[in-house]
């Protein structure tokens, strides 16, 4: 029988009303057999996600402090949902066991995973679907790297026997059974793994927006929905901060050719965004713009190095990069001139190592100057349509020039799928809005082959 794997995010399961919507969506299509829930998320802006409360409990426990207040709030949230849905589910015993483990020094990953675990139990109770603990089917090695074939085997073994199931997202287990989580937002990855294991016809990822939008709705509130997007484009966008889908959720289904459909739990009739392979993405059913999406992130810095005749010095770049490698620092971009080179990297990657890095670079290549510039943001304009359209870069920079925004760096990948721009952090939001307006609201300067 055909099956669809459906993953519901935290806001889709934040309270009893949301649970009702989720059930209605699942019951509307019998193919929606395998369900992956996140932990309850925010009910309103300013609310706290269960996952964050669990991290707090673990931090307090590790410091030997009392965490019963926070744990009590977690219990109340699950109980409130269960009561409103008239379920007998009571998380008290499970939470007592969790509290005991926390006092004994349980890890951050263990604590965080319990949000999904408990929500999985609650949802399985509500839907009447069997519960499959992700610790039994999602496998990691001792370094926390996902073991794909072991996971596929374990999932197929268990899910093959079940007509339908609830499998909590975000976590799995290491070789000795210890709980390991993906990075934040990782329930998307679990959904993708389940979809691949059961060879689903589609992976539906239900969230709180009607698809992937051309720009972050927190910056462009009325941003248009992207109808179809390729795996590559979405990976670029999610890597650069379009948090709608975890960047690592793409690989498992992509390898199996399973499309992803991003849908809105609060607007189930909207078709959402379909994520497909490049050759099946029909550009005519696109939104009709040259670009597919805009995303970006703050929190970068640049190591600016200057040295007269740098271009003639053999091995200059290699020596500089060797310093970063030696210090375990990865970088994002490396724009260069004749006598200058810059390395753009995340502030987080170099935090606490700035002085050592600079002194090692000085020793390695004796530059005329070498300094770190902080407060940089990176913005990516992504689109498969850019390959066959002239003038895209001109339009981007015209939009920025009109807004008097200074561009610090430009990088276009060889695939011509994206153009990355470095900007001051203070210019970031305005730059996103200006580029959005240039491509979505106007057609000035468009020149397709
Ligand atoms: P979930 O809890 O369902 O996993 P997330 O909060 O992880 O949902 O992802 C959905 C959110 O991603 C949206 O509410 C929106 O604020 C944010 N977002 C950022 N960029 C985009 C984008 N380009 N398109 C859609 N949503 C985006
Ligand atoms: N609950 C986890 C988080 O908040 C995982 C997820 O939502 O996907 O990051
Ligand atoms: Mg998410």
pLDDT of 91 higher than 90: yes
**Secondary structure letter of residue 186 according to DSSP:** T
**Average of per-residue pLDDT across 6-35:** 98
Q: Say what the pLDDT of residue 368 is.
A: 95
**Average of per-residue pLDDT across 7-19:** 98
The helix (H) or strand (E) run that includes residue 72 is: helix 68-84
Q: Say what the pLDDT of residue 283 is.
A: 47
Q: What is the pLDDT of residues 412-424, one digit of tens each?
A: 877 788 999 999 9
pLDDT of 324 higher than 60: yes
Confidence tier at 328 by pLDDT (50, 70, 90): very high
- Cα 18 to ligand 2 centre (Å): 17
Residue 246 CA: nearest ligand 1 atom is: 7
Q: Say what the pLDDT of residue 284 is.
A: 45
Measured in whole angstroms, the distance separating CA 272 from the mean position of its chain's CA atoms is: 18
448, β-bridge pairs:
389
Confidence tier at 289 by pLDDT (50, 70, 90): confident
DSSP-H helix ranges across 240-306: 250-256
pLDDT of 238 higher than 50: yes
Q: Say what the pLDDT of residue 251 is.
A: 93
Count Cα atoms within 13 angstroms, Cβ side, for 2. Answer: 8
The answer to whether the 4-208 and 293-448 domains have the same CATH topology is no
What is this structure's pTM? 0.89
Query: Considering only CA atoms, which of 257, 295, 293 is closest in space to residue 278?
Result: 257
CA–CA separation, 105 and 58 (whole Å) = 8
146, β-bridge pairs:
140
Q: What is the pLDDT of residues 74-86, one digit of tens each?
A: 999 999 999 999 9
**Average of per-residue pLDDT across 41-63:** 97
Residue 39 CA: nearest ligand 2 atom is: 1
Query: Are 374 and 284 within 8 A, CB to CB?
Result: no
Query: Are 234 and 250 within 8 A, CB to CB?
Result: yes
Question: Residue 189 CA: which ligand is closest?
Answer: 2
Question: Residue 293 CA: which ligand is closest?
Answer: 1
Count Cα atoms within 13 angstroms, Cβ side, for 442. Answer: 13
Domain 4-208 falls under CATH 3.40.50.2300: no
Query: Considering only CA atoms, which of 142, 70, 72, 59 is closest in space to residue 102?
Result: 59
CA Rg value for the chain: 24
Q: What is the pLDDT of residues 353-395, one digit of tens each?
A: 999 999 999 999 999 999 999 999 999 999 988 888 888 889 9
Q: What is the pLDDT of residues 178-215, one digit of tens each?
A: 999 999 999 999 999 999 999 999 999 999 999 999 99
pLDDT of 286 higher than 80: no
Q: Report the SS3 class of residue 207.
A: strand
Mean pLDDT of the chain: 94
Q: How many beta carbons lie within 10 A of that of residue 68, not counting itself?
A: 11
pLDDT of 318 higher than 50: yes
Residues of the chain above pLDDT 70, percent: 96
Task: Name the CATH superfamily, with its identifier, for domain 293-448.
Answer: VC0802-like (3.30.2130.10)
The helix (H) or strand (E) run that includes residue 316 is: helix 316-326
- Cα 222 to ligand 3 centre (Å): 20
Domain residue spans in the chain?
A: 4-208, 293-448
Mutate to test the pocket of ligand 2, among 50, 111, 170, 208 (most ligand atoms within 8 A of CB): 170
Q: Report the SS3 class of residue 132.
A: coil
Task: Please state whether beta strands 369-382 and 293-306 pair in parallel, antiparallel, or not at all (unpaired).
Answer: antiparallel
Query: Are 56 and 67 within 8 A, CB to CB?
Result: yes
Q: Report the SS3 class of residue 246.
A: coil
Q: Report the SS3 class of residue 64.
A: coil
pLDDT of 445 higher than 60: no
Q: What is the pLDDT of residues 126-162, one digit of tens each?
A: 999 999 999 999 999 999 999 999 999 999 999 999 9
pLDDT of 170 higher than 90: yes
Torsion sign over Cα 168, 174, 177, 182? negative
Residue nearest to atom 6 of ligand 1 (CA): 244
Question: Which of these ranges, 70-79, 87-96, 271-280, 360-369, has the smallest mean pLDDT?
Answer: 271-280
pLDDT of 333 higher than 80: yes
């Amino acid at each position: 029988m055909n099956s669809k794997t459906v993953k519901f995010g935290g806001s889709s399961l934040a309270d009893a009303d949301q649970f009702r919507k989720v059930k209605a969506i699942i019951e509307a299509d019998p193919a929606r057999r395998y369900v992956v829930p996140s932990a309850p998320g925010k009910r309103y802006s300013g609310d706290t996600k269960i996952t964050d409360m669990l991290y707090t409990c673990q931090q307090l426990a590790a410091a030997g402090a009392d965490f019963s207040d926070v744990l009590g709030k977690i219990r109340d949230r699950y109980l409130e949902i269960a009561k409103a849905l008239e379920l007998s589910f009571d998380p008290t015993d499970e939470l007592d066991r969790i509290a005991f483990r926390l006092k004994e020094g349980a890890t951050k990953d263990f604590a965080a995973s319990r949000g999904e675990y408990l929500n999985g139990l609650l949802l399985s109770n509500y839907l009447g679907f069997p519960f499959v603990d992700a610790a039994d089917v999602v496998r990691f090695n001792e370094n926390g790297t996902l073991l794909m074939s072991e996971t596929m085997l374990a999932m197929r073994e268990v899910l093959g026997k079940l007509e339908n199931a609830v499998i909590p997202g975000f976590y799995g287990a290491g070789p000795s059974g210890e709980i390991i989580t993906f990075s934040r937002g990782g329930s998307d990855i679990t959904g993708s793994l389940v979809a691949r294991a059961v060879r689903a016809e589609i992976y539906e990822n239900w969230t709180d927006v009607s698809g992937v939008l051309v720009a972050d709705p927190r910056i462009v509130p009325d941003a248009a929905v992207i109808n179809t997007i390729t795996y590559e484009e979405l990976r670029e966008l999610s890597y650069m901060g379009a948090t709608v889908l975890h960047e690592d959720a793409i690989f498992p289904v992509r390898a199996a050719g399973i499309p992803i459909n991003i849908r809105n739990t609060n607007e189930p009739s909207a078709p959402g965004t379909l994520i497909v392979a490049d050759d099946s993405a029909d550009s005519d059913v696109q939104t009709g713009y040259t670009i597919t999406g805009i995303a970006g992130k703050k929190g970068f810095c640049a190591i600016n190095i200057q040295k007269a005749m740098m271009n003639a010095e053999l091995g200059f770049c290699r020596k500089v990069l060797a310093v970063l490698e030696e210090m375990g620092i990865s970088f994002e971009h490396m724009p260069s001139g004749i006598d200058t080179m810059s390395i753009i990297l995340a502030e987080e990657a170099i935090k606490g190592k700035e002085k050592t890095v600079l002194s090692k670079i000085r020793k390695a290549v004796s530059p005329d100057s070498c300094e770190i510039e902080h407060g940089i943001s990176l913005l990516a304009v992504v689109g498969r349509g850019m390959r066959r359209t002239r003038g895209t870069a001109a339009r981007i920079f015209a939009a920025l020039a009109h807004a008097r925004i200074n561009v610090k760096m430009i990088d276009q990948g060889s695939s011509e799928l994206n153009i990355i721009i470095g900007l001051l952090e203070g210019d970031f939001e305005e730059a996103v809005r200006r580029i959005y307006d240039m491509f979505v609201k106007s057609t000035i300067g468009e020149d397709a082959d």
